[in-house]
Structure 1
Amino acid sequence: MSPEGKKLLNIIILGFSFMFMFTAFQTCGNIEQTVIKSFNSTEFHGSGYTSMAIIYGVLSGCSLIAPVVVTIIGPQLSMFFSGLFYSGYIAMFIHPYTWSFYTASVLVGIGAAVLWTAQGNVLTINSTNDTIGRNSGIFWALMQFSVFFGNLYIYCAWHGHVHITDKDRKTVFISLTVISLVGCFLFFLIRKPDAEPVPPEESEGLLQPERSDSTESVCKILVTKEMLLLSVSTGYTGLELTFYSGVYGTCIGAMTQFGQDAKSLIGLSGICIGVGEILGGGVFGMLNKSNWFGRNPVVLLGLIAHFVAFYLIFLNIASDAPIAPEAGTDLQAYITPSVGVALLCSFLLGLGDSCFNTQLFSIIGLVFHNNSAPAFAVFRLIQSIMAAVAFFYSNFLLLHWQLLILVVTGFLGSVTFFLAEWMVQSRRRESDYDSI
């Protein structure tokens, strides 16, 4: 196999590994607040929103040291051990206690910082300027099959269930734990190309640590003009990640007007999100491969998709749905609640999310190619801080206030992304002109 073929194979294996891991973890995040509401125990007093806030808060703090860990033990081991933390968090739901719930949340936050830093490192060192867009799209599309498969399982398992029993919970989380472990062990299939003399310009294809992976490098990248501009759109992805992965599914499950299938609709909503993510990753991830227009049209499409989704959710879902009790809410929004509209919004949320994330992966991998690990650590630092903030306010903010925050930050994030992309494209054109 050619060196380029081995790099592409590494990207595909990386995508499948994340697909298995996040089939388990994203499904867990999507249903955990609903599961917790249904869990009758005097020994447990946890909140799914608070748990996710802890995860992303710890992730943001650990992002500064994650590049050092990746450098010392390498990307494969970094992703494997981080994946074990994810598996432990999922397994905890088989019989949760408050102390184990929040302890596992802290450990996942640590693991997530290392996992995503190593992922960005592997993605970048197996890509060139011409293939970074393609590889970002392939990875994102493969990973987002996790949303599809995990939620399809939830829909089938919980169809017709008004209340989630202990047996339902244990069956689901034992299965998710096994799936997560499969993803962990797949990381060991990522390999270096054959040992042979490689020209310096091609050496980025080797799985090796970069030279500038210290906390100091993270801080320097954080204050660059490009990263400061991208930080607003990165922060928006953290807010909307919280909304589509934790809040929106809870809202659908709380709508009593959707009937006795409301709980199983959480899984169906996740499937629609996954279809949007896969479509966006598979198609729009390819569009930024050295085209003149750059990444801005894809981000604009993502913004439009999200704005349409937010408006329809505002009309369709009751304002108290995010914080409704286990019995759900009988309130109605501005139209008669429609399952079809709710699922369309799920698709649009996934499509918009993939548009933003594939383009951010692409532009960060391009601009910071020689320092990808600290650059992606900065990306996760900003994203996770905003996700932690969003999960915190999801405990008490009504739906329409959450949507307003998303609209404002989405608009600002898109404008700053456009400015960063124009800056990058201008520099590339100047470089091409100077080389003539």
Structure 2
Amino acid sequence: MSPEKKKLLNIFILGFSFMFLFTAFQTCGNVAQTVISNLNNTDFHGSGYTSLAIIYSVFSASNLIAPSVVAIIGSQFSMFLSGLFYSAYIAMFIQPFTWSFYTLSVFIGIAAAVLWTAQGACLTVNSDEDTIGRNSGIFWALLQFSMLFGNLYIYVAWKGEVNISERDRRTVFIALTVISLVGTVLFFLIRTPNASGSESLEDDGGSDSSLSGEGNIHRSSQSNMSKAVNAFTRSMKLCVTKEMLLLSISMAYTGLELTFYSGVYGTCIGSINWFGAEAKSLIGLSGIFVGLGEILGGGVFGLLSKNSRFGRNPVFLLGLVVHFLAFYLIFLNVPNDAPIASRDGTFSRAFVDPSKFLALFSSFLLGLGDSCFNTQLLSILGSLYAEDSAPAFAIFKFVQSISTAVAFFYSNYLLLQWQLLIMVIFGFFGTIAFFFVELGAVHQGPQDTRYGSI
């Protein structure tokens, strides 16, 4: 098999691994608040929104050290260890306790930072300037199949259910735990490509491995410390470049809308009493339509990278238009108090009678727009920072996770109209900022924009 085919195979394995892992985790996040609302009359007292806020708060802080962890133990082993923590968090719902719920929320925040930094490094190592757009699209499309399978099961199993029984909960989360473990094991099938240059995150010691005795231990320790310090220093330098500061606005928007489509919107649909006994099962169906939009966007728009004559800007602009349309339809269709409704749901009415068709069509638009933003951000980061992929992707997840954590915190309190307004403002300015960076990349090229201007 040629080196290029091996790299492409690695991208497919990476995509399938994330597909299994996030089939479990995204389904878990989508139904967590609904499941927990059926537990709060027991000894368990917790909030799905608060848990996700903790996860993304720790996630954001951990991104500062994630490049150092990946540099020391390699991206493959980093992804495997992180996958184990994801599986432990999902398994916790089989028999939930408040203390384990919040403790594992902290650990999975750390694991997520390492996982996504390692993913960015692995994607970049297996790509070049000509293939980064294609590979970003392939990875994103495979990842978003995770939105289909778990949510399809939720739709079928919970159809007509008003309250989620203990048996139903355990059945779902045992299955999700097994699925997440399958994705975790698949990381071991990724093979390191023969790459030269500074991007060697899979290297776990280089020539030091041939040494022996105390001198070897001392040199290996120094080498690991040097890798960790170097990765941290590169991250700090990259943070204050002009290009990264501008892209941070776009990254922050992806965090806000991630919160909305992955946690808030499903809860809104499930709380609308106008939908009757189907309300809870529609949470799963909404997740499926988000996934369909993500897959379509990843498969089509991921290929329209910088290497095409259209560039990245039209795809990013399309994502903004699609999201603005989705926000408008949601504003018309979903009651304003739906995000913060009690366990009994809401009988309020928006500007039109709640429509299942509009609710699910809006889910599709949310997924389609999200794929436009993320595929183009993955592409531009992999192109501009090919020599510094781990720090660049760590910064992406750092900024994204901060805004996600903030959004999960305010989702406990803000009415729907204010949540939509915040996303409209950040989406508009984030798109303008992306335009400036993309235009600069076209004129200067990657070698001139790697460190930008402070």
* TM-score, normalised by the number of residues in structure 2: 0.91
Going from structure 1 to structure 2, the CA distance change for 1:160 and 1:427 (only over 3 Å counts) comes to same
Over residues 297-318 of structure 1, what are the superposed CA-to-partner deviations in whole Å (9 max), with x where a residue is unaligned?
0001100010000000000000
* Structure 1 unaligned residues grouped into runs of 5+: 432-436
Paired residue for 2:21? 21
Aligned equivalents of 1:225, 1:68: Cα separation in 2: 23
Is residue 428 of structure 1 aligned with residue 442 of structure 2? no
2:360 partner amino acid: L
Identity percentage over the alignment?
A: 67
Instruction: Please give the per-residue CA displacement for 1:193-243, whole angstroms capped at 9, x wherever unaligned.
Output: 4x7xx7x57x86984479785222111111111101100000000000000
Paired residue for 1:366, among 380, 383, 389?
383
Name the residue aligned to 1:157.
Answer: 157
TM-superposed deviation, 1:293: 2.8
Where does residue 326 of structure 2 map in the other structure? 309
Match of 1:95 in 2: 95
1:378–1:73 Cα change, 3 Å: same
How does 1:399-418 map onto structure 2 within 5 Å? 399-418=416-435
Which residue in the other structure is 1:38 paired with?
38
What's the counterpart of residue 147 of structure 1? Answer: 147
Deviation per residue, 1:167-201 (Å, 9 max, x gap)? 111111111000000000000000124x7xx7x57
Q: How does 1:386-397 map to 2 (within 5 A)?
A: 386-397=403-414
Instruction: State how far apart, in whole Å, the 2-side matches of 1:258 and 1:189 are.
Output: 45
Task: Find the counterpart in structure 1 of residue 339 from structure 2.
Answer: 322
Aligned length: 426
> Given that residues 75 and 201 in structure 2 are in contact (C-alpha distance below 8 angstroms), is that contact kept between their aligned partners in structure 1?
no
Partner Cα distance (2:385, 2:240) in 1 = 13
Q: What's the counterpart of residue 117 of structure 1?
A: 117
1:41 positional shift:
4.4
Output the TM-score relative to the length of structure 1. Answer: 0.95
Structure 2 residues not aligned, in runs of 5+: 205-225, 449-454
Q: Map of 1:146-295 to 2, 5 A cutoff?
A: 146-193=146-193, 200=196, 207-208=202-203, 214-288=231-305, 290-295=307-312
Counterpart-to-counterpart distance in 2, 1:274 and 1:416: 27
Provide Cα deviations, 1:125-166, integer angstroms capped at 9, x if missing partner.
100001000000000000000001111111111111111111
Residue 155 of structure 1 contacts residue 264 of structure 1 at CA under 8 Å; is this kept in 2?
yes
| CA positional deviation for 1:325 | 1.1
Which residue of structure 2 lines up, in the alignment, with residue 378 of structure 1? Answer: 395
Q: Which residue of 1 aligns with 2:217?
A: none
Distance in 2 of aligned mates of 1:379 and 1:206: 18
Q: Contact conserved, 1:134 with 1:289, CA < 8 A, in 2?
A: no
Aligned to 1:83: 83
RMSD across aligned C-alpha pairs, in angstroms? 1.7
CA distance in 2, matches of 1:259, 1:310: 24
The CA deviation at 1:42 is: 3.5
* Cα displacement string for residues 40-76 of structure 1 (whole angstroms, at most 9, x for unaligned residues): 5442110000000000000010101001110111111
The answer to whether the 8 A contact 1:140-1:278 is kept is: yes
Residues 213, 237 of structure 1: CA spacing in aligned structure 2 closer, same or farther, 3 A cutoff? farther
CA–CA distance in 2 between the matches of 1:33 and 1:204? 41
